[in-house]
Amino acid sequence: MNTIGYIFRLTTFGESHGAAIGGVIDGCPSQLKLDFDFIDKELDRRKTAQTSTASQRKEPDRIEWLSGLLDGVTLGTPIAFMVRNEDCKPADYEALKDVYRPSHADFTYEQKYGLRDWRGGGRASARTTLPIVVAGAIAKQILKGKGIQIVAEVTEMGDAEQAKNEGDTVGGIVECRIISAPAGLGEPMFGKFSAELAHALFSLPAVKGFEIGDGFALAKMKGSEANDTFINKAGRITTPTNHSGGIQGGISNGNDIVFRVAFKPIPSIAKPQKTVNRAGDPCEIAIEGRHDVCALPRAVVLVEALAAMVTVDMERLAR
Amino acid sequence: MNTIGYIFRLTTFGESHGAAIGGVIDGCPSQLKLDFDFIDKELDRRKTAQTSTASQRKEPDRIEWLSGLLDGVTLGTPIAFMVRNEDCKPADYEALKDVYRPSHADFTYEQKYGLRDWRGGGRASARTTLPIVVAGAIAKQILKGKGIQIVAEVTEMGDAEQAKNEGDTVGGIVECRIISAPAGLGEPMFGKFSAELAHALFSLPAVKGFEIGDGFALAKMKGSEANDTFINKAGRITTPTNHSGGIQGGISNGNDIVFRVAFKPIPSIAKPQKTVNRAGDPCEIAIEGRHDVCALPRAVVLVEALAAMVTVDMERLAR
Amino acid sequence: MNTIGYIFRLTTFGESHGAAIGGVIDGCPSQLKLDFDFIDKELDRRKTAQTSTASQRKEPDRIEWLSGLLDGVTLGTPIAFMVRNEDCKPADYEALKDVYRPSHADFTYEQKYGLRDWRGGGRASARTTLPIVVAGAIAKQILKGKGIQIVAEVTEMGDAEQAKNEGDTVGGIVECRIISAPAGLGEPMFGKFSAELAHALFSLPAVKGFEIGDGFALAKMKGSEANDTFINKAGRITTPTNHSGGIQGGISNGNDIVFRVAFKPIPSIAKPQKTVNRAGDPCEIAIEGRHDVCALPRAVVLVEALAAMVTVDMERLAR
Amino acid sequence: MNTIGYIFRLTTFGESHGAAIGGVIDGCPSQLKLDFDFIDKELDRRKTAQTSTASQRKEPDRIEWLSGLLDGVTLGTPIAFMVRNEDCKPADYEALKDVYRPSHADFTYEQKYGLRDWRGGGRASARTTLPIVVAGAIAKQILKGKGIQIVAEVTEMGDAEQAKNEGDTVGGIVECRIISAPAGLGEPMFGKFSAELAHALFSLPAVKGFEIGDGFALAKMKGSEANDTFINKAGRITTPTNHSGGIQGGISNGNDIVFRVAFKPIPSIAKPQKTVNRAGDPCEIAIEGRHDVCALPRAVVLVEALAAMVTVDMERLAR
């Protein structure tokens, strides 16, 4: 369950403060000359500290490539990579070892596994999304060769500066657009393009909503308002409106695939909160330290990455 | 891609006006005495014509059980079942054979497969969801034995009576609640309980949005408002609020799992619409005949069914 | 676990004396005009009573096609089919209800599931292989379009006539050849062409051995004897010898893929045998009735069918 | 396709002379205190140079654990590990860069991928089996807790000393025994215990045959000779003979599961061989350097490892 994809598949591993975070990409086409600069740029987009909304943690994120490449060209064999967790200060987290932080995964992981890596969120840390950026960057490179682009942006976000002063955090919405994907991608029934996107996006921490096209707004429309009529535009059948978000019956119709993802506020807040510890005793915590006020700026590249991975997979299955 | 689930798996087959619609359930526990009355009642909930919002199509939906049972008890082997498509009048659809109905899957199926079963929507028809109800009813029976319940209801719906008079259709929202699921279900990273639910629900026709807990509303909250603090309630650690919808870090926390699904209006409307035919020539259609004004009343049991199937699967994986 | 294949996938269902035996083929290409005569001929090859080595059970094996077809052409959607079990006389098996037949699956099924369908072997009956023939026939048709052929034959078999007189049964070996498969099929590591064939063939009842190329004989050779040297034959690189059976490093080399499958004798013998019943009490049985002396003649088409299905899948994955 | 297993899953990566060889184990139970000494001992069993039949390559095989552990205890999250390829002299292989070694994967990899890592066999090198030993050692530890043991041995091998003098290599047979596995493991139809073992074992380089119980010898027996009659042994139903190798109908019967694997001779021989190069021109090669005369001594631990992994998976699925 730490693997995503059918043909283009990513398996990730790593805890926030274990030895390393990394992934194995299986099913990447051979003979692709990887654009390492682009991968680094994508990683920079995820990196901390670049804006006032993000935390101060320094993550050099230097990728070590372990396999699957010969002189920077893909061999068709698994591409393994990792980033060492250099900035490891478990002592910072000692105080939280026995406390269940509200709306974190501390309690649920312990319920599931009987133990958890309490150092910085362990496997549930946002840091574990790093391999997704790497796989997404490679997926984007594959898509580029097919003329397909992925572009996301923050379309809604709370007032981060104010929240910061209050020791609070904010959530928001990221909108993503898959541009120039051909019609006919996606599988009917249980492999719908929309379903695969929803599944992938809900893999990100803090995601609590996903909608495609006009999404929840469609629930308030009439059929005559919601339908996308077909026209013949210079010999190409298309729809001038795009309430459907480019997907009909689970399959792409050639229009932009447009979806939105809702992120809850980061649960680590400096404001004091009541909670309980492992023994069930009430206690109060104030989560100090290097934490973002808002995950949204970092999340944009993650949303794009997962969209790219799903698109590569759908394209591959449609052959 | 016509299969859903990891251990408790449903494979469905059938087109709206082919010989039959059916499914194969693999991974159902043995020695379960199936409650056929309950399955029939669940099918009735999906059936047409019971309300003024639904179409007039008569579907007896008599299940033929093909395998996997001995004297009504599950053998542990695949449970195959089908319903014959008796009420088949392809002539009704002849006029639509070469026309791309707006916001239907006609165009996308043709782009994908080069042909389509044009009789009543073929594989993309809402009728193909029938096997989900059967598998869901069996899943509910399994969950009942574990004290877990699934209850959904329509929480938002357009004005169906008015739409009917206008030859139009309406959408809406279904809210579902998984009650008394134990903490610790769901897999981290790419098998999160929320992600599996989103994937499953997006398999239903007309679904365009999915949110869990407070969902999209969380995007506007602050962390201090969105967090669910833990308390010790008579020796059991729980959260008095449930903004998270029972899922933290992708894993159930023992609280109700609450999610909402947005359905677009049914695209088959009686009002005349502009579109194009296969040749790309503009034309006008008015979809007459037996069509629902709103899918929501029928959808409730489908939402419950998929939630039940996913819950059985998550419970099974957590052992 | 009743599904085989990655892209071209067959799910089977049915017990020997349940309502029906059948399957669902997912991932079959669209726009294929099925050759129903060929499918029937392949089913005839599996049918009983054609030779003195086979039992007297009459199986009309009339396929009902349930989905996935429009005017005999594949739609790309799941192809479901079934054969009703008409010749059902459970009374014949009543005597065996509580007895564990030696080297049958009676005991192991009960250990696994807590109960079993005791009528004619239930899910473990050789009759449940029928859907494999159907899927194999379709796979062969796909391969034919690519110039690939599958041919199997019995290369070793005990003296059936003598065994029949003695109330005994015999085993044997089937050799199969996949002809004109292109080089480059099969995946390295855990998806080797040879591994997929071995997995598929071991799905047949009574299979106890599988070898590729010179197989077990290679264990006695030296490298200099076992190696297949490459030559340039009119511009095409090939090997004049084929000790490897067409597979090197798990991937096809363009030569014939040759493998052999060992079948044990059918365990149902007329000769009296000692065994125990469910209570653990010793008893003696003599399995009367309609049983083959040798499974080999029927098995040939099954071996071909599975080889064809695997080849279609490997070809599809290699794109 | 570089992943094996359903619940207990191993994904491997690495080429012989790339940066590292490693794996990711997903689905390992949490709260298992890993026995690192045992893992090292198992790796030693695979290591080179310990006998005169093996090559001189020095492989320290020092495992770096990357994730999934806290103080040596499994977290339930993916366990990633790797071994660096320190002894890398690509120059040794330069001469073979454009030559297709007989019965190696050079030619087939190039046909499949368009390129290959020519340094020491790349992904097809026997060195890439190292992660299997690690996963197998962990699987054995899990099985030990359930009282299940796995023991393999070389039962047939050519004359290695003589072959060495002749610049040749030899093959052989490994027999493996899974002891004290409970009855009821394995899935019917396409997930038979025997089929999963065959699939796993054929993943090893040089494997060309697999048989279970009496295997190919059963093809020459009569039913009355091949059947395993049941007896009641002190209240436990078992079979005094074990022609079936512990598997009936694909499911374990509680007896030892016994299988044999045939290995071809290592194709790298010092004797001069004729072959062709990438251009299709004939040439002669004599493969000098550090190569084993026989893979069998190293293979024993690999056979056990795969058997252990499959057994853990079957046990997990049977719950």
Can you spell out the DSSP letters for B89-152? -THHHHTTTTB--TTSSHHHHHHHHS----STTGGGSGGGGHHHHHHHHHHHHHHHTTT-EEEE
Q: Looking at the complex, does the CB of residue D79 fall below 8 Å from at least one CB of chain A?
A: yes
Statement: residue D49 has pLDDT above 50: no
Statement: residue B3 has pLDDT above 80: yes
Cα atoms in the 13 Å half-sphere on the side-chain side of C118 = 18
- How confident is the model over A93-115, as a mean pLDDT? 93
State the pLDDT at residue D291.
77
H or E stretch covering C176: strand C172-179
Statement: residue C174 has pLDDT above 50: yes
B partners (3+ CB pairs within 8 A) are A, C, D
Give the residue carrying structure tokens 């070809």: C315
Question: Considering only CA atoms, which of C119, C7, C137, C3 is closest in space to residue C63?
Answer: C137
Option in C70, C82, C113 nearest B115 (CB)? C70
Q: Looking at the complex, does the CB of residue A5 fall below 8 Å from at least one CB of chain D?
A: no
Nearest residue on chain D to B6, judged by CA atoms?
D6
Cα atoms in the 13 Å half-sphere on the side-chain side of D8 = 26
Q: What are phi and psi of D176, to 5 degrees?
A: -130, 150
Q: Which residues of B touch D7 (CB under 8 A)?
A: 317
State the pLDDT at residue B123.
95
Give the residue carrying structure tokens 């590729």: C212
Statement: residue D53 has pLDDT above 70: no
**pLDDT tens per residue across span D152-172:** 999 999 999 999 999 999 999
Angle in degrees, CA B57, B60, B61, rounded to 5: 110
**What average pLDDT does chain C have?**
94
Statement: residue A183 has pLDDT above 90: yes
Report yes or no: C189 and D123 within 8 Å, Cβ to Cβ. Answer: yes
* Ranges assigned E (strand) in chain A: 3-4, 9-13, 20-26, 64-65, 69-70, 73-74, 79-84, 149-157, 172-179, 207-212, 231-233, 236-238, 247-248, 251-252, 257-263, 273-276, 282-285
Mapped onto helix, strand or coil, the DSSP state of residue B205 is coil
Statement: residue A288 has pLDDT above 90: no
Q: What are phi and psi of D56, to 5 degrees?
A: -95, 0
Statement: residue A308 has pLDDT above 50: yes
Rama region for B253: left / alpha / beta (φ>0; ψ in -120 to 50; rest): alpha
Whether B108 and A219 lie within 8 Å, measured CB to CB: no
Q: How far is B103 from chain A (nearest CA, A)?
A: 5
Whole-Å CA distances, C313 to B276, C47, C185 = 37, 26, 9
What are the beta bridge partners of residue A25?
A: A10, A79
Q: Looking at the complex, does the CB of residue D63 fall below 8 Å from at least one CB of chain A?
A: no
Biggest alpha carbon distance in chain A? 70
Q: How far apart are CA B34 and CA A252, in angstroms?
A: 39
State the pLDDT at residue A50.
47
| Binding-face residues of C in 33-62 toward D, CB within 8 A | none
State the pLDDT at residue D69.
97
Report yes or no: B110 and B96 within 8 Å, Cβ to Cβ. Answer: no
Mapped onto helix, strand or coil, the DSSP state of residue B229 is coil
How much of chain C exceeds pLDDT 90, in percent? 87
**pLDDT tens per residue across span A118-163:** 988 899 999 999 999 999 999 999 999 999 999 999 999 999 999 9
State the pLDDT at residue A60.
65
Angle in degrees, CA A194, A195, A201, rounded to 5: 90
How much of chain A exceeds pLDDT 70, in percent? 95
Q: Looking at the complex, does the CB of residue D212 fall below 8 Å from at least one CB of chain C?
A: yes
Q: Looking at the complex, does the CB of residue C188 fall below 8 Å from at least one CB of chain A?
A: yes
Can you spell out the DSSP letters for D128-173? GGHHHHHHHHHHHHHHHTTT-EEEEEEEEE--HHHHHHTT--B-EE
- How far is CA A285 from its chain centroid? 28
Angle in degrees, CA D284, D287, D292, rounded to 5: 150
Q: How would residue D211 be classed by pLDDT, with cut points 50, 70 and 90?
A: very high
Whether C103 and D243 lie within 8 Å, measured CB to CB: yes
Residue C175: what residue type?
E
Lowest mean pLDDT across A287-296, C250-259, D124-133: A287-296
Rama region for A274: left / alpha / beta (φ>0; ψ in -120 to 50; rest): beta
- How confident is the model over A27-43, as a mean pLDDT? 97
Contacts with D183 (C-beta within 8 Å, 6 or more apart), sequence order: C107, C108, C111, C112, D251, D252, D253, D254
Rama region for B280: left / alpha / beta (φ>0; ψ in -120 to 50; rest): left
**pLDDT tens per residue across span B219-245:** 999 999 999 999 999 999 999 999 999
Q: How far is A120 from chain D (nearest CA, A)?
A: 13
State the pLDDT at residue D287.
86
Statement: residue B155 has pLDDT above 80: yes
**pLDDT tens per residue across span C33-74:** 999 999 999 999 998 644 555 555 565 678 999 999 999 999
User: A-D interface: how many C-beta pairs under 8 angstroms?
Assistant: 143
**What average pLDDT does chain D have?**
94
- How confident is the model over D277-298, as a mean pLDDT? 90
Nearest residue on chain B to A243, judged by CA atoms?
B103
Q: Looking at the complex, does the CB of residue B7 fall below 8 Å from at least one CB of chain D?
A: yes
State the pLDDT at residue C94.
81
Mapped onto helix, strand or coil, the DSSP state of residue D116 is coil
Statement: residue B57 has pLDDT above 70: no
Q: Looking at the complex, does the CB of residue C3 fall below 8 Å from at least one CB of chain A?
A: no
Q: How far apart are CA D67 and CA A17, in angstroms?
A: 9
Q: How far apart are CA B40 and CA B173, in angstroms?
A: 25
Q: Which stretches of chain A are DSSP H helices?
A: 36-46, 91-94, 106-113, 130-144, 160-165, 193-201, 223-226, 296-317
Q: How far apart are CA B312 and CA C6, in angstroms?
A: 24
Q: How far apart are CA B231 and CA A276, in angstroms?
A: 6
Question: Considering only CA atoms, which of A128, A177, A174, A122 is closest in space to residue A148?
Answer: A177
Q: Looking at the complex, does the CB of residue C245 fall below 8 Å from at least one CB of chain D?
A: yes
Nearest residue on chain D to B77, judged by CA atoms?
D188
Option in A103, A194, A252 nearest B228 (CB)? A103
What are the beta bridge partners of residue B300?
A: none
State the pLDDT at residue A48.
62
Whether B67 and C2 lie within 8 Å, measured CB to CB: no
DSSP C102: T
Look at chain C and count its residues.
319
**pLDDT tens per residue across span A59-95:** 567 899 999 999 999 999 999 999 999 766 767 778 8
How is residue B186 written in tokens? 């769901």
Q: How would residue A49 be classed by pLDDT, with cut points 50, 70 and 90?
A: very low
Q: Which residue has the higher pLDDT, D66 or A290?
A: D66
Nearest residue on chain B to D188, judged by CA atoms?
B77
Find which of D109, D168, D248 to mutate to test the C interface (most C CBs within 10 Å of its CB).
Answer: D248
Question: Considering only CA atoms, which of B132, B174, B167 is closest in space to residue B152?
Answer: B174
State the pLDDT at residue D233.
95
Contacts with C191 (C-beta within 8 Å, 6 or more apart), sequence order: C6, C250, C317, D1, D2
DSSP B88: -
State the pLDDT at residue C242.
98
Q: How far is B240 from chain C (nearest CA, A)?
A: 42
**What average pLDDT does chain B have?**
94
How much of chain A exceeds pLDDT 90, in percent? 87
Report yes or no: A218 and B264 within 8 Å, Cβ to Cβ. Answer: yes
**What average pLDDT does chain A have?**
94
* Ranges assigned E (strand) in C216-318: 231-233, 236-238, 247-248, 251-252, 257-263, 273-276, 282-285
Whether B158 and A221 lie within 8 Å, measured CB to CB: yes
Statement: residue B49 has pLDDT above 50: no
Find which of B13, B69, B128 to mutate to test the C interface (most C CBs within 10 Å of its CB).
Answer: B13
Contacts with A104 (C-beta within 8 Å, 6 or more apart), sequence order: A121, A124, A267, A268, B248, B249
- How confident is the model over B80-88, as a mean pLDDT? 87
State the pLDDT at residue B184.
98
Whole-Å CA distances, A5 to A191, B74, B187 = 11, 33, 16
